[in-house]
Amino acid sequence: MGLELYLDLLSQPCRALYIFARSNNIPFEFKRVDLMKGQHRLEEFRKVNLLMQVPALKDGSFTLAESIAILLYLVRKFKTPDHWYPSDLQQRARVDEYLAWQHTRIREKERKVFLLKVFLPLITGEPLPPEKLQGAIEELNVVLNQFEEKFLQDKPFIAGKEVSLADLVAVVELMQLVGAGHNIFEERPKLAAWRKRVEEAVGKQLFQEAHQAILNVKNLTADQMAPEMREYTKQVLLIPVS
């Protein structure tokens, strides 16, 4: 049995995996797990990932959760080009540094803006209070400044002269904001130039294909969600963002 990747391209970690596997010609079977329909909470998927989250990997009898762990597994199993996860000690440390930082910084702040702009109005049917969004955007701008000053600096890519896993993970996180109607690349020329370099490195067609769903996310309607997912999502949303 070949490699299986369980993905929903609405999810930024799933897109990073999809782009990485496709751009490196890694053979895999795409197993779509529709988050809107709550398929990640079904018993069938729970057998693959007890955590009931995407992405997930199945390689024969071996299963693996968490996107960063899966990316590193693919790097090692398929011996992908060195620039993705450099053998040079210090360049690799730069990649590790960003991957460790992003979970609670860019991803956390981006997620809050995305939930406020897309899913809160979708679930509640009520307009978003401007002051609630403004606070989230201010928090986001703090970490974006840190990203530019600490991680990107004046380099072409995070680890130096070539694209790495750090760049791929970062750019799909920020594209989530574009899908929510908050195009940070228009506001930040340095990020826009870096995004273009990453897009060219992985292939423009593949990049656009992977982001098609998220760029159309504002067309989603509440009735496209399974009823139990609407209620579950409403409870989750109203706690952290209220």
Reading the block at residue 174, the tokens are 């920020």
| DSSP per-residue codes, 46-86 | HTT-TT--S-EEEETTEEEESHHHHHHHHHHHHT--GGGS-
Residue-by-residue pLDDT tens, the chain, 242 positions: 699 999 999 999 999 999 999 999 999 999 999 998 889 989 999 999 999 999 999 999 999 999 999 999 999 999 999 999 999 999 999 999 999 999 999 999 998 898 888 887 877 777 777 887 899 999 999 999 999 999 999 999 999 999 999 999 999 999 999 999 999 999 999 999 999 999 999 999 999 999 999 999 888 777 777 777 667 666 656 544 43
CB 220 within 8 A of CB 122: yes
What pLDDT was estimated at residue 240?
Answer: 47
Domain boundaries, the chain: 3-80, 89-238
5, 99, 8: which is closest to 59 by C-alpha? Answer: 5
Torsion of CA 56, 96, 186, 180, to 10 degrees: 30
Model confidence pLDDT, tens digit, residues 195-210: 999 999 999 999 999 9
Q: What is the pTM of this model?
A: 0.93
> CA-CA distance, 142 to 108, in Å (whole number)?
12
Cis amide linkage into residue 129, ω under 30° from 0: no
CATH number for the domain running over 89-238: 1.20.1050.10
Half-sphere exposure of 225 (CA within 13 A, CB side): 19
CATH architecture entry for 3-80 = 3-Layer(aba) Sandwich (3.40)
Alpha-carbon distances of 85 from 17, 52, 148, 193, 201, rounded to whole Å:
14, 28, 21, 22, 15
CB 108 within 8 A of CB 179: no
